[in-house]
Copies of this chain bind each other. A is one copy, B any other.
Amino acid sequence: MEDLARERAETTFDVEAMKIIWAGGRQAFELQHKLASIVANDPVFRKDNKPNMTRKELFIGGIRKAAHCRELALELGLSEDDARTLRTLRGEKAYDDLHWNMFIPVLRTQATAEQQKKWLPLATSMSVIGCYAQTEIGHGSNVQGLETTATFDPSTDEFILNSPTLTSTKWWPGGLGKVATHAIVHARLILDKDYGVHAFIVQIRSLEDHKPLRTITVGDIGQKFGNGGNNTVDNGFAQFNNTRIPRDNLLMRMAIVTKEGKYVRQNVPKQMLYGGMIAARQIILMEASMDLSHAVTIAVRYSAVRRQFSLDDGNREIQVLDYPTQQQKIFPLLASAYAFRFVGQWMESLYSEVMYQFENNNFSALAEIHACTSGLKALTTSVTADAIEKCRKACGGHGYLCASGLPELFAAYIPSCTYEGDNTLLFIQVGKFLVKTILNMKTSFRPQGTTQYLADLDLLTKKNCEVSDEDDWLSSNVILGAFKARAARLALSISRQILKFPNQDAGFEELSVNLVSVAQAHCQLIVLSKFIDKVHGAIPGLNVKKQLQLLCNTYGLSLVCEHVEDFLVTGYLTKRQANLARHQLRSLLSHVRPNAIALVDSFDHTDHYLGSVLGRYDGDVYTHLYMEALKDPFNNSAVTEGYKEYIEPIIKQRLQSSKL
């Protein structure tokens, strides 16, 4: 306990100023801080007994908290964004996340102006509760392969929805199982022929008594990973049996179906069908920084409280955070949390800019924002998922107790790697985008935005790294140059190989493992460059800039060391330069150490949000581990239930005769 107080006293930078940077400005900080303390002090949001709850209790707790969030949002007059912050702070998912993060953004991007006029007020007042029903049991990634049909019946001016096969059963949509009144359903549009997958609004349950509509079989798909996790959400299934919806429930911004059943394309790119996903992925990016910082806070604080081994017998034991292996596990993740935060903030503003353009029918940025959100979603969720488990392992045995908070965080987080696009497929897409960018450059096209660096391909492939001593690695230009060269060289090498394949698609498939690598390299470059931009901006507060510079270098160099083979194989680094990077990283990690506690305090996470005995702000870990155990109902009786039946017969050697 006194360890954390001492560490805090020895902090060398302005923690309050850092909190404001993390939050994205003073106003944002104040609001987040206020909402966090409201949540932390409200009994409805308590998490105490969660690990012991059954699925049903978890779900009921989830809808209770959702209702309470809604009420608070109305009472406090929160904006949509601020209400989302409130939901994030409650620390568990529910159907309302899908309503606000998927259903509504789809309406905004894919519904016509009139449709929006009808549906948006219903949705934003929550008079209808929506979900996003794309995935089927047989098709997730391959959206074009979805089997649900929507056949037009001109005689009634309706579409008739059907689930023609078992595999066409809608499967996974959050909120569909038990709560949603409406769903955005992706189905094949059948007129004179099959026009492929389109999005429809389908009512699922009665607005009167909440009973499912007669023609729809709907339910919950069952228990998911972990005892907490996403088990508060009613991921559902649905089968349609001649379900009729008005023609106007087809979202018609990209294409209209007339009364006569004629299909009329509109001047909006087809890719806008996945416009809702751009919104969702951008949110996922911010969540990554929240969940990663959550895990890192627990691991850093506990590692400063935990002492194990002394170098000289008799001396006080060492805080495990002082061990180089422990620092190497945790500090790159601490740096990544900051990195993801800043790239998330950047994406947030890019996103609103682009949404504004979309509203005004300017779609020029679509390909770029699509690649960017896809790749960054894949990168940040992969890293965060792995990081939570690394942090858990770094807490030794106690990390395995639910009381550490880490099991639930992991269980809740990992599906981010799968939903809104399987990360492997997203990386492959981004990889293709890069390679095609290079192939197109030969035809006088100039890459823009985050791929702009590829314009310097010649230079990037010819000029090798100039680092000659350890400290050269601290220059932003040096490290940025290395990342650009790596991504460019990997992309160039694939684009050369691809030309040898008679069929480009077959070539992309054969080289898909390489596409994943280049996409990762490219996305790391984006994150790093946004971090560097941040550090180079105006940063108030004593030594705050210095700490961010340190973290930025740590982020970059830990990636150089982790992927050093890329830099070596492409010939950009020599063995000696790679070794210098390793030494510099070791030194950076030891410089992160003194302010580590303050750097996690800067996330401003409450004990309620952390939900972790190991991550407590006061560091009083052991007392509370013990108290948690005593609370377990399992400890109410001295002799366990089941003793007479299953233990006594063994001990008293009466097993052979007893029948079990």
Contact = CB atoms under 8 A, between A and B. Distances in A.
Given A325-B424, A328-B513, A74 B575 contact: no
A324 B512 contact: yes
Interface in A213-271: 219-227, 230, 234, 237
A84 interface: no
Interface stretch (A65-73, A353-361, A455-463): A65-73
A651 B181 contact: yes
A197 to B, nearest CB: 13
A10 interface: no
A5 interface: no
Copies of this chain held together in the complex: 2
A488 to B, nearest CB: 17
A510 to B, nearest CB: 6
A30 interface: no
A389 interface: yes
Interface in A563-580: 564-565, 568-569, 571, 575, 578-579
Given A400-B418, A646-B67, A660-B67, A510 B324 contact: yes
Nearest to A135: B397
Interface stretch (A294-302, A524-532, A619-627): A619-627
A129 B211 CA distance: 54
A60 B645 CA distance: 10
Contacts of A418: 393, 396-397, 399-400
Contacts of A441: none
A552 B185 CA distance: 48
A211 B44 contact: no
A203 to B, nearest CB: 12
Which of under 10, 10 to 19, 20 to 34, or 35 or more describes the interface residues of A?
A: 35 or more
Contacts of A499: none
28 contacts: A51-B222, A52-B55, A59-B634, A70-B650, A74-B656, A127-B651, A142-B317, A177-B634, A207-B651, A210-B647, A221-B632, A222-B401, A222-B629, A222-B631, A223-B403, A225-B401, A225-B402, A323-B512, A324-B509, A324-B510, A326-B424, A393-B423, A397-B418, A400-B414, A400-B415, A407-B411, A565-B568, A565-B578
